Structure 1
Amino acid sequence: MKRFHIILCMLAGFWGCKQDQMKPVSNDKAQPNPVSNPVAVGMAGAAEISYSLPDDQNLSYVRAEFEINGVKKEAKSSYFKRSVRVEGFGDTAEHTVTLYTVSRAEVASTPVQVKVRPLRPAIWNVYESLAVTEAFGGLQVKFNNDDKGKIVIVTLLYDPAAKEWRNVNNFYYGLDSGKFTVRGLQPVKQQFGIYIKDRWDNKSDTLKFELTPIYEEELDKTKFASAMKKKYPIPQVAPLPKTPGVQIAEPTNLSSWPIENMWNGIVGNEGYHTTENKDVPIWVPIDLGVKAVISRYKIWQRQAGYIYNHGNPHEWELWGTNTPTDVNSWVKLDHQIMEKPSGLPLGQNSNEDIDAAAAGQEYELPIGSPAVRYIAWKHIDSWAAVDGIIGHLHISEISIWGQIKK
């Protein structure tokens, strides 16, 4: 009882504490001296301003004040640095930036003004590099972003009935080059528009064009079937590499992870899972139920704590044929190495990595691929056994698109 009373007293003391208030870290109200010798160097949509700092131990930071499109902005730089970056300009005109040194007591110096002239914003370099081509189910956009600006590429579709443009896709990017594909569009000639904007809402012109997306449809998964038990003579199945202590067997699955789970429409911590410690490559043949020119496919990794790890596919090939009993009829349709968006090492995943795995990784086959009914997934290695000679495979789900042929 005595111990309970002591705890109550401690809690009462805790709840009775006053909240800390943010206050200046110094009571010295002396005005600091301003910066001197400011020099501005233009950058893409920005400027870097270097300067000399006064010899003042009470100095806290430098504040830069400026305007973009009539809106007041500011940037701050620690007293440990000798420069401040101002950014967000949407033109190459001359702008005035006002610099202040600020003391630990939050007292500002007299202002020092400097003229800056930013270089062209990254949005315009990206805009001029746009290359658009028709794609299966939509269009593909390639671009360069040499300045590595954080940009958004906005794709528009003109609605002739409503006589207005509507947004169909936003693509966010910050690396030096890239490409993306807009899907789900009808295979008829349509008018599109693309413009670039940045996080300060600066916008490029709109590139307008017409094109006709290439027809495709998602293959009916209810027609898919396992072809493993038919023992088709897939190329390179035999002889398999010999590894001491490892049983060489067909890619049998764990009892609760049949291959049919790979196309049951459920993405998560289930799917197809081979038994472990198998020599690679592992071949997984599938009967699509129809003959089709495959345009693209999307795979979902085993989710939860397994993305980019364990038996999720890292490198693979896709093969196809219409006469599976003829070993010489199989042709390689695709070869891929899965990339992690963040580039982080095994076991470390960013939010971007998690989002990409949840959305599924999509891979497009080149135009001109042959129509096939039978495909074979050649598992080369998994994320947990990169370049390994043994391993296993698990995939949560696969979807396939293409043009069905008679």
Structure 2
Amino acid sequence: MKQFKIFVLLFTMLSVALSSCKEEILKPLYGSKGAPKPISNASVQNIAGGAIISYTLPDDANLLYVKAEYERQGKIVVSKSSFYKKSILVEGLGDTNPREVKLYAVGNGEEASTPIQVTINPLAPPIYDVMNSLGIRESFGGMNVKFNNHESTGERPYNIVIGVVVWDDRLGEWKDVDAYYTGLAEGSFSIRGLQAKEQKFGFFVKDTWNNKTDTLQKTLTPIYEEELKAPDDARKKFPIPQNKPLPIDGSPILEPGNLSSWAFGAMFDGVIGNNGFHSNERNPLPAWFPMDLKKVTRLSRYKIWQRQNPDGGYLYSHGNPHEWEIWGTNTPNDRESWVLLDHRIMVKPSGQPIGILSNDDVEVARQGHEYEFPLDAPPVRYIAWKQIDNWASIQGALGFLHLSEMKIWGQIQ
């Protein structure tokens, strides 16, 4: 009896194994109902890098969607549009050559109608407008690049890469320097850490479909700068002239009080995240946070990182700075000697309300917000951050500031 049970068990297992080896044949979800009638009355609106093709849908209950077949970079590709719409988008074309597009009505059983054919004459792809918009200038430690990407909208982003290369005389070829990815309609970015010597740089724009412009060549000489280093004991007690007079502009002068675990010097320890400097809360605004750079310096730029945590909390919110000024002097005991060096309002790339973050918002904050001092700013040793308001209390309902990290660059005199 025991042997019989074992035989039955083995037979059952073998049957299951054999049945699982049978080839599965995928069939249309709704079964074959035949091809629907074709679309009609197709008309073309040529656009940058493609076309919008409008048409009349067939009166056919079997219709599921419309598809367009066309050539892109030597391959046949397909665009689809549901039966709720009366147009289809052809996109990603890298030139203005005429193209034939075949349009099919497709039924529930994935069977296609006989095609109708239209000719499109795409306009130049948007990468060329972006390339023509580039504003490139020499800057401290590198260069700054401004761009316009007008085809990119919230409803239909046009994602691009702006590539930067440098010519290597020894190798006789271009070498990668940077690649800036964005879907913003306009913006700017800076490239830093380059040697202060004349070099030949190249710039190009590429899109999602790997369409690419020619390389624009420019000879540039980055301006020399170096990063100012905080003292080794900065986290314990960053040397600040707390008892020195600050500018007289009608605002209260406050000591940079801070929560004990968020010391002022933690803003200069090289650690970025949910840490750094946090002032006491509910101070009246504006509030002043002065510091001693230790050496007279022609300031070139500074970079700040918002307090942030892994899920993006705090970004463009809470005590992260929204509007501020930076003042400087070499004689801190003289109130009249302080001069305004910089005034900024932090811009949220997406423009979305507080609490809503786009990928660009998060990426810009992760990289840090960078600001340049005016080229004619005087060399100074002492600076003071004037906190005007933060993101959670624009116009100063709650008076506090927190920053994860701050870096400062310049030319030491």
TM-score (ref. length: structure 2): 0.87
Deviations 1:362-402, CA, capped at 9 Å, x for gaps: 11112121111101000111111111244211111110011
Partner of 2:124: 120
1:218-239 CA-partner distances (Å, limit 9, x unpaired): 1122277745554221114766
Q: Does 1:42 align with 2:50?
A: no
The answer to whether residue 264 in structure 2 is matched with residue 252 in structure 1 is: no
* 1:113 alignment partner, SS class: strand
Partner of residue 244, structure 2: 232
Match of 1:371 in 2: 379
Match of 2:14 in 1: none
SS in 2 for 1:73: strand
Give the Cα separation in 2 of the matches to 1:151 and 1:228.
44
1:207 aligns with: 216
Which residue in the other structure is 2:302 paired with? Answer: 297
Residue equivalent to 2:334: 326
Q: Which runs of 5+ in 2 are unaligned?
A: 1-19, 153-157
- 1:226–1:285 CA contact under 8 A, matched in 2: no
Corresponding residue SS for 1:310: coil
Q: Give the match's secondary structure for 1:328.
A: helix
| Partner Cα distance (1:333, 1:100) in 2 | 63
Q: Which amino acid aligns with 1:203?
A: K
Letter in 1 for 2:409: W
Spell out the pairing of 1:17-166 with structure 2 (5 A cutoff): 24-148=28-152, 149-166=158-175
- CA deviation string 1:339-364 (max 9, x = no partner): 22232322233343333222221111
Q: What is the identity, as a one-letter code, of the residue corresponding to 2:175?
A: R
Q: 1:346 aligns with which of 346, 354, 361?
A: 354
Q: Which moved more, 1:303-312 or 1:35-44?
A: 303-312
Q: Work out the CA distance in 2 between the residues paired with 1:249 and 1:85.
A: 59
> In the alignment, which residue of structure 2 is the partner of 1:279?
284
Range that drifts further, 339-348 or 33-42 = 339-348
Match of 2:190 in 1: 181
Which residue identity is paired with 2:291? I
Please give the per-residue CA displacement for 1:198-244, whole angstroms capped at 9, x wherever unaligned. 1111111111111111111111222777455542211147663xxxx
Alpha-carbon distance change, 391 to 32 in structure 1, aligned in 2, over 3 angstroms: same
> Secondary structure at 1:306's aligned position in 2?
coil
For 1:129 and 1:120, the matched residues in 2 are separated by 15
What letter corresponds to residue 137 of structure 2 in structure 1? T
Q: Decide which of 394, 398, 401 is 1:393's aligned counterpart.
A: 401
Cα pair 2:284 2:399 within 8 Å, conserved: yes
**C-alpha separation in 2, matches of 1:52 and 1:368:** 64
Which amino acid is the alignment partner of residue 271 of structure 1? G
Letter in 1 for 2:81: S
In structure 1, runs of 5+ residues without a counterpart are 1-17, 241-247
C-alpha change, 1:358 and 1:151, in structure 2 (3 Å) is closer
8 A contact 1:227–1:285 mirrored in 2: no
User: What is the TM-score normalised by the length of structure 1?
Assistant: 0.89
Compared with structure 1, are the counterparts of its residues 237 and 132 closer, same or farther at alpha carbon in structure 2 (3 Å cutoff)?
closer
Distance 2:54 2:126 in 1: 22
The answer as to whether partners of 2:301 and 2:409 remain within 8 angstroms in 1 is: yes
Q: Assess if the C-alpha contact under 8 Å between 1:281 and 1:378 holds in 2.
A: yes
**Aligned amino acid, residue 350 of structure 1:** S
Deviations 1:38-65 (A, max 9, x none): 1111100010000111101111000000
Verify the 8 A CA contact 1:36 1:52 in the aligned structure 2: yes
> Matches of 2:93 and 2:358 in 1, distance apart?
30
Q: How many pairs are equivalent?
A: 380
Q: Which amino acid aligns with 1:199?
A: T
State how far apart, in whole Å, the 1-side matches of 2:26 and 2:399 are.
56
Which residue matches 1:312? 320
C-alpha distance in 2 between matches for 1:227 and 1:327 = 20
Question: What secondary structure, in the 3-state scheme, does the structure 1 residue paired with 2:231 have?
Answer: helix
CA gap 1:249/1:296 in 2 versus in 1, 3 angstroms = closer
SS at match of 2:412: strand
Cα distance in structure 2, aligned partners of 1:253 and 1:319? 21
Q: Check conservation: 2:251, 2:286, Cα contact below 8 A.
A: no
RMSD: 2.1
Q: Tell me the alpha carbon deviations over residues 158-178 of structure 1, each in whole angstroms, 9 at most, x when there is no partner.
A: 111111101111112333332
1: CA distance between counterparts of 2:294 and 2:303? 18
Partner of 2:17: none
Q: More deviation in 181-190 or 125-134?
A: 125-134
> In structure 2, how many angstroms separate the alpha carbons of the residues matched to 1:92 and 1:138?
36
Aligned to 1:147, what secondary structure does the other structure show? coil
The 1:145/1:307 distance shift into structure 2, 3 A limit, reads closer
Q: What displacement does 1:272 show?
A: 1.3
